[in-house]
Amino acid sequence: MNARNLLTSRVVITGMGAITPLGHSVQETWEAMLAGVSGVDYITLFDHRDLKVHIAAEVKGFDPAQYFGAKEARRMDRVTQLGLVAAQQALQDSGLRITEDNTYDIGVIIGSGIGGITTLLEEHKVMLTRGPGRISPFTVPMMLPDTATGQIAIQFGIRGPNLCIVTACASGANAVGEAFEMVRTRRVKVALTGGCESPINPFSMSAFHNMGALSEQEGDPKTACRPFDKSRSGFVTGEGAAMLVIESLDHALARGARIYAEIVGYGCTDDAFHITAPDVRGPAMAMQRALQQAEVHPAEVDYINAHGTGTVLNDANETRAIKAVFGEAAYDINISSTKSMTAHSFGAAGALEVIACVKAINDGAVPPTINYQTPDPECDLNYTPNVSVRRAVRVALTNSFGFGGHNASLVLRAFEGQ
């Protein structure tokens, strides 16, 4: 073992939790992904008749009062509620006990691109209609992007580093990546990490529509999100939360934890090009750096969970970036966009897609890109169209790219012991 390895730890995933438009658990979500189920439908969270966009991927059947009680639920924005549910699942799945002896050795690093924007909008309406004196005193803590991280720390008694990562659509992936670095460099022994988002409200939906980012597909809502298809016209807004417990290998082994997979590489760059338009160099460098840190040759990658939002520019740019990194080997890799089913949950997306990679490694199956009908000459790779495939997945890579030029790539590997 060289001196560098003495200063760093291997990092493994020991717990996962998720609440998504496809299900209220990791397993429900994963089974729906493999079956090619779409979580997109007409909006039920508010009256959408006056809007130009009428569809989204909601977490259906979620009653926060069942988890927190009616009084406490009213004091949390939906984004925090979803984050807490996924965090509880991940901690329970990991079997980790939080005590006075280890509470400062555990970190909480979570991404949220928008935070409690629904609370902000509702209380702004209260101010306009009923006056500033009627604004709820809970407004500020409910709307801040870092409220979920603070609430999780309070709920579970975690006193280590507590950070909220805000990098738009890359927030969840960056959160997992930064948590990975914290554990790898022994700043903490364990991290609860992931992402949460709940942006389905009239303001957000209209804003994304007016900038031309949302899908204009007509007809069946479930066919609206069409990553890499020639007829793609934009993304569909989603919501949800995905959380992971990650820890140093020695800590996991010492407590007899079940190990799902190993995180081996993280790459993080910025395009420095345009606030919304992508550039091929930044994503390519993020992937290259993740592979270099992982000491993984491009030909060893079996599966790529693509950012794959369904926008015309993004999908073509990501395809070019993958080909720039992988060369001819790009055509041998199964690629898929699970956003075709979950839609785009912004800050939660990257973390959920890490979980999809872990499940692909564990189950030997690659989820599909649904709604893929017409090939695009600019997108000519194997996007695992419409139907999941069985194949051994030893190494997986996931990409997340965000407005502002943020790029994050993570490499995961099947755990093969010491």
- Residues with catalytic function: 169, 307, 344
Contacts of 318 (CB under 8 A, 6+ apart): 278, 283, 306, 307, 308, 399, 401
Cβ atoms of residues 411 and 291 within 8 Å: yes
How many residues are there in the chain? 418
DSSP assignment letter at 369: B
What distance separates the 2 farthest-apart alpha carbons in the chain? 67
Quote the tokens at residue 239: 């919501």
Quote the tokens at residue 101: 């002896």
DSSP assignment letter at 305: E
Question: Which residues are 242's β-sheet partners?
Answer: 18, 195
DSSP assignment letter at 170: G
Cβ-in-10-Å burial (0-12, 13-18, 19+) of 389 comes to: middle
Distances (CA, A) of 323 to 59, 119, 263, 298, 320: 35, 42, 23, 11, 5
- For 103-117, the DSSP string reads GGGEEEEEE-SS-SH
3-class DSSP assignment, residue 179: helix
- For 14-38, the DSSP string reads EEEEEEBTTBSSHHHHHHHHHTT--
Closest CA to 403 of 361, 357, 344, 362: 344
